[in-house]
Amino acid sequence: MIYALIMCASAIAVVQGFPSLFAGESEDNEVVSYNFPFVTRSGWNARTPKEKTPLNFPVPYVVIHHSYMPPACYNREACCTAMRGMQNFHMDDHGWWDIGYHFAVGSDGVAYEGRGWDTLGAHALHFNTVSIGICLIGDWRYSAPPGNQLKTAKALITAGIELGYIKPDYKLVGHKQVRNTECPGKGLFDTIKTWDHFSEHPSSVDELIYVNELPESTKTMLLNRRNNTTV
């Protein structure tokens, strides 16, 4: 697959291949660019992660989120500000090592690098080990994101398959299917229900114990927690 090299105003849309380190960190890795607008961490002035844990890939699930806050962003400057805001919130308020999502997509149709493909995310409790988390920046409870934002999110998933980070037979779910949350908002959730690979299951956090791909240790913990709260 030949990717078109896309030049962005603030960053060249190039990331490193295997492993996907930040651009420029290794001379040995294959350089990969995307056929959609892409901004690396340095492009939005990301802070350095406190720590990183490798993700076991290819993953069998993609989890779609909305940011709720910050609201939708429609240009590079606003979306970079949104990325920094989310990273600060996740690191300073939640105490996480980095922004929780692997990637985010703005209403400018640009994909923004979060943790990247090969790092364990912090976006869906109990489900992080088996998934890539993509956030569509904005509050999508009452409306769907614009077409260019949806198109880039789909292209990002396709790239993840081609790069070997997402299983070709992956399942697509909304955050609310694995956690008690409104995320990704009804407007966006109704949209992704129409996408290829959307899976009705799990339909809620209660069904996580039936997800084959989840480690037994996770399911045991979930079962114990359920038993403790229902007794």
Return the residues of window 149-188 that contact Zn ion according to CB under 5 A. 175, 183
Residue number with CB closer to Zn ion (115 or 175) = 175
Q: Which is nearer to Zn ion, 90 or 175 (CB)?
A: 175
CB of 127 to Zn ion, least distance (A): 11
The CB-of-65 to Zn ion minimum distance in angstroms stands at 3
Write the binding mask 8 to 47 for Zn ion: x where contact by CB under 5 A, - elsewhere: ----------------------------------------
We find the least distance from the C-beta atom of residue 175 to Zn ion, in angstroms, to be 3
Supply the minimum distance, in Å, between the C-beta of residue 74 and Zn ion: 21
Nearer to Zn ion, 65 or 171 (CB): 65
Task: For Zn ion, give the closer residue by CB, 105 or 183.
Answer: 183
The reply to whether 90 sits near Zn ion by the rule CB under 5 A is no
Identified binder of Zn ion from the candidate list 41, 65, 90, 102, rule CB under 5 A: 65
Angle at 183 between CA 62 and CA 91, to 5 degrees: 80
Residues lying near Zn ion in the complex (CB under 5 A) are found at 65, 175, 183
